[in-house]
Amino acid sequence: MNQLFNSIKIGSKELKNRLVMPPMTRSRAGNGEVATELMADYYAQRASAGLIVSEGTQISQQGRGYAWTPGIHTEEQIMGWQKVTHKVHENEGVIYAQLWHVGRVSHHSLQPDHQAPVSSSEIVAEGVKVFIDPDNKGPEAGVGEMIQHSKPKALTIPEIKEIVKDYAKAAANAMKAGFDGVEVHAANGYLINQFIDSNANNRTDEYGVTLENRLRFLKEVIIAISNEIGGDKVGVRLAPFTTLQGAVDATPEATYLEAAKILNEIGVGYIHIAEADWDDAPGSPDSFKKELRQVFRGALIYAGHYTKEKAEDALAKGWADMIGFGSDFIANPDLPYRLENDLKLNQGDKDTYFGGSAKGYTDYPSYK
């Protein structure tokens, strides 16, 4: 027991414990989708995590799906993130940038020239909403509107190739911004997931129909990024058994074990499995976890409704190497200390999770 507080090496980085602060959208980026000093304070407060993965960070304006989320595709955005990584490193933390393209989960008002968002296919996920700021009040007001995502346009093959280049460029930008690595968001119904999952992909070309074709975009993105920054600095987030944002696969175990084999061949540093985090949600079958451990040699991170006890059990059984604690890290900047010493946890204020200022963001007290 207490493996949570043992060190672990991922790539060239020795991490001080096995707690991960997973990516969590907080919608507090400034004008131009630039990371702010406030965001730097927020991440630095949580630098005692073994690994921080930043909130989803769009690789291009086309990749943006929500108001007040940060990007990593302009020089100003790179400079904004440099403030964050500098403060995290000052506090002896390790931080990866999560690279994000939302695909169809966007609205034309957020897109370049108000164009339709893009996807693998021209399929609308009914009831899937995005967050916009119609009156341009900014994140501090914390007032926006949830609306149905716009009908997407199916990407052409040349357009797919350009997005692969966007991912590689974003990874290079992340290293320029001082991140220790990148995590590619291939989960939760966003663009890469829209290619992988069978019900979100009705293409009939080399990116559709067969499992090999549906995994092609993921493979090309990860190869391009690995060639740019080195595979050991790359993680990939997958969500095999959730059905978020209308992405459902007919054979998730077979699909995602094959994805893991591809990622193993490329040589990425870790796979990050996003499990459902609501009560009574279906978990990942033990059979899948055991097979995943067999086919993937890198580190395995799991996140989704974990307690200290559940996390220690996962580590003891050997199918997990690190565990993500989401909302607990929002409310407890010193979460590793509290968990190690069995101290009471602060409770998060859900009304301040998205948008706003320092309240509910950087004002949660540390135990000491």
Residues marked active site are found at 190
CA 170 – CA 65 distance, rounded (Å): 17
Distance, first Cα to last Cα, the chain? 25
61 in Cβ contact with 111 (< 8 Å): yes
For strand 8-10 and strand 13-15, is the pairing parallel, antiparallel, or unpaired?
Answer: antiparallel
In angstroms, the CA 278 to CA 181 distance is 29
Report d(CA 316, CA 223) in Å as an integer.
Answer: 32
